[in-house]
Each structure stands twice: as C-alpha cells, then as structure tokens.
C-alpha cells in the first residue's frame, strides 16, 4: 500500500528550509526526476494487473501532480525571495553622475548658413552654387570692375593661371552667372553661401579662406527700400526682434547706391562695448542697388528691371551670434566649438 500522504509530507518537510534553487532542484530530481521515487511508482504501474492499475493509477497520478505543484510553488517562492533580496541590496544611487555620452553637433557656421537659407527660401529665394575656381570675367569684369581698376586692389586675389583664372575673392560672381542663366527674361531671387579666398594673413579676424552669403533679387520696380526690408528680416531672425539696422552710404563698383549694413549692438544695446568698439553699431554686410551696367552686361535691360544685392560675411555673423572671438575656431577641430553651440542652443 502506498502512503501518498506520507510522501507528500516528506517532500514538504525536506524543502521547508531550502532557500536556493540548486538544492530544491536536487530534491525535485529525487522525487519527480526521470528515476525519482514518484516516477518509479508511475512506471511500476505497468507491472500491475488491470484491477490494481484502476486502483492505484489515479492515486499515483494525483500524487505526482500535487508534488509537482509543491515544487513549482516553492521554486516561485525562492525566485521571489532572491529578487527581493537583490532589490534590497542593489539600491540605485540616483545622485551619482551618469556616464556622459559624447554627441555630435552641427558645425555652427553651417548651422548659421542653414538658418539664413531657410528664411530666404521661405521668401522665395533659390539657394545656388558657383565655382570656387572662377574666371576674372565673372569675379571682376562683369561686376563693373574692369582690368586695372583700383577696386581690385582691395581684394588681394589668388591667381591660378595668368590673369584670367583665380580663386573667387567674393561670391558676387554667382550673381552674374545666375542672371546670365536667366537670360534677362525672368525675375531672379537667389542666395549663394560659399567659400571665398583672399591673400590675407591669418589671424583672429582674417583668413585666406572665408565664407560669404551672397543675395540677389532682380525684378520690376525694386528699390533700396526692398533691400532694407529684406536685410531687416534676416538680421532680426539671426539676432532677435529688437535689433535695429542702419544703412550707411558706401561704395561698391557693382551697386549704385551702395550701402554698408550695421546692426545695433545686441550686447550693449547701443551704449557702447568692446564688441561694437564703443560705437553701438556693428557692420555685418555690404549691399546696394544693382548697378545698371551690371544688369546690362548680364542681359537685363536696366530700364525694365532693377534689383538689389547683398553680401554677408558668414564667419562674422556666426562669431557675433555665438560670441566667438577667433575666426580660426570654425576651421580647426576644437571641440569647444560644439560646446559653444550647445550652450547657445539651450539658452
């Protein structure tokens, strides 16, 4: 006669104080493992007569099910205890500083250019490109700066081949190329951010390579006030709504009248500081109404068409916007540059 009650109690007694899964598993194997006590009973059933099978079969099977459940429950209990113990011991110190994951940030000069591009695209401008290795014809002649003109001296140019092929000293030749492409037939709205080159000694505010953002609009009845409005929008977008613009008379061969664009100093609000050299104003661009000679040379009839143009110094804008005092920061791999950007962005 099998005393199932006794076996069950034996199991319960044996596992009562068990606290680890390995010991529990070993006991489990002893009872319901392949060759365990209860498994033996199950296989011995085969040797019994039908009558005996009918009598003991259900008893043994129930025993096996119940003992299995006892082991399963105990297993869960131990697992839970282990987990609780772990949670108790592995307290997370949330005051510990986290691991810093280094992240890339956009180059701040590129970022600034993108900002200007986005704004001007929303005003209907196209962003265009032009060659950096340029012909004298586009860089100077068709901008109303003939050979031998003293205005050329101001732009110490890198000549590549004789006097005809050079590294563009300004992005203004892209104005010429764009107008020529439009054949004097349709209005033009373009900006061209791009690299320019001059034989300058490199220091904190000069570089032999720098970027300009050129803009040109040609249409019917365009005047200086259209230029003023456009410049004002750009400046306010970059430096804030309270920034004022001032236009001083200037001289460029390819514009008439020509102006120098100043913005009110965002730092001292006009009272005078080191950024504005105590004048309250900062120069950010050259601009003007497109000279009739330029329109004519580029295929536009100055009697029917008029336009304005402007040229910003991109590094200068970025230096002002991000408070950088050395232009070389944009062209070396000094990671503090992205730190400046991170800081300004989160302000």
- The residues of the shown chain that bind ligand DAH, judged by CB under 6 A, are 170, 172, 214, 252, 255, 286-288, 309-311
Q: Which is nearer to ligand DAH, 194 or 288 (CB)?
A: 288
Beta carbon nearer to ligand DAH, 239 or 252: 252
Residue 183, H or E segment: none
Q: How far apart are CA 125 and CA 316, in angstroms?
A: 22
Instruction: State the minimum distance, in angstroms, from the CB of residue 203 to ligand DAH.
Output: 18
Q: How many CB atoms lie within 10 A of CB 162?
A: 8
CB of 345 vs ligand DAH, minimal distance in Å: 29
β-bridge pairing 126-127 and 188-197 = parallel
Q: How far is CA 328 from the centre of its chain?
A: 21
Nearer to ligand DAH, 214 or 337 (CB): 214
Host H or E run for residue 130: none
Closest approach of ligand DAH to the CB of residue 215, in Å: 7
> Closest distance between ligand DAH and the C-beta of residue 311, in Å?
3
B/e letters for 189-222, b = 16+ CB within 10 Å, e = fewer, are bbbbbbebbbeeeeeeeebeebbbbbbbbbeeeb
Compare residues 287 and 317 and give the one whose CB is closer to ligand DAH.
287
Query: Rounded to the nearest whole angstrom, what is the least distance from the CB of residue 322 to ligand DAH in the complex?
Result: 22
Residue nearest to ligand DAH (CB): 311
Smaller CB separation from ligand DAH, 4 or 178: 178
- Specify whether the CB–CB gap between 179 and 218 falls below 8 A: yes
The smaller minimum CB distance to ligand DAH, of residues 195 and 344, is found at: 195
The DSSP output letter for 171 is S
Distance CA 16, CA 11 (A): 8
Q: Smallest distance, Å, CB 249 to ligand DAH?
A: 13
Q: Is the separation of the CB atoms in 269 and 240 below 8 Å?
A: no
State the nearest-atom distance from the C-beta of 286 to ligand DAH, in Å.
Answer: 3
Of the two residues 71 and 310, which places its CB atom closer to ligand DAH in the complex? 310
Q: Among all chains, which residue has been given the structure tokens 């401008």?
A: 125
Q: Report yes or no: 315 and 210 within 8 Å, Cβ to Cβ.
A: yes
């Amino acid at each position: 006669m099998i005393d199932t009650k006794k076996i069950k109690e034996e199991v319960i007694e044996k596992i009562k104080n068990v606290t680890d899964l390995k010991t529990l598993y070993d006991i489990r194997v002893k009872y319901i493992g392949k060759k365990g006590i209860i498994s033996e009973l199950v296989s011995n059933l085969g040797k019994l007569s039908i009558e005996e099978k009918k009598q003991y079969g259900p008893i043994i099977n129930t025993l096996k099910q119940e003992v299995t459940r006892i082991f399963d429950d105990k297993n869960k209990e131990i697992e839970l205890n282990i987990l609780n113990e772990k949670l108790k011991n592995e307290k997370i110190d949330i005051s510990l500083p986290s691991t810093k994951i280094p992240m890339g940030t956009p180059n701040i000069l590129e970022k600034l250019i993108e900002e200007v591009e986005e704004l001007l695209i929303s005003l209907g401008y196209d962003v265009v490109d032009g060659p950096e290795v340029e012909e004298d014809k586009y860089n100077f002649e068709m901008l109303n700066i003939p050979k031998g003109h003293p205005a050329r001296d101001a732009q110490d140019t890198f000549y590549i081949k004789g006097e005809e092929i050079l590294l563009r000293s300004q992005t203004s030749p892209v104005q010429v190329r764009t107008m020529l492409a439009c054949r004097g037939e349709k209005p033009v709205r373009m900006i061209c951010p791009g690299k320019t080159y001059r034989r300058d000694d490199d220091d904190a505010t000069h570089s032999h390579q720098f970027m300009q953002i050129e803009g040109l609009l040609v249409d019917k009845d365009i005047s200086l006030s259209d230029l003023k409005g456009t410049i004002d929008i750009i400046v306010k977008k970059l430096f804030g709504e309270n920034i004022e613009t001032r236009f001083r008379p200037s001289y460029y061969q390819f514009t008439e009248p020509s102006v120098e664009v100043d913005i009110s100093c965002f730092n001292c609000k006009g009272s005078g500081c080191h950024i504005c050299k105590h004048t309250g104003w900062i120069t950010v661009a050259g601009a003007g109404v497109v000279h009739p000679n330029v329109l004519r040379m580029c295929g536009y009839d100055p009697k029917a068409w008029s336009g304005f143009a402007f040229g910003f110094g991109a590094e200068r804008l970025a230096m002002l916007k991000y408070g950088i005092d050395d232009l070389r920061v944009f062209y070396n791999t000094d990671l503090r540059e992205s730190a400046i950007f991170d800081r300004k962005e989160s302000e």
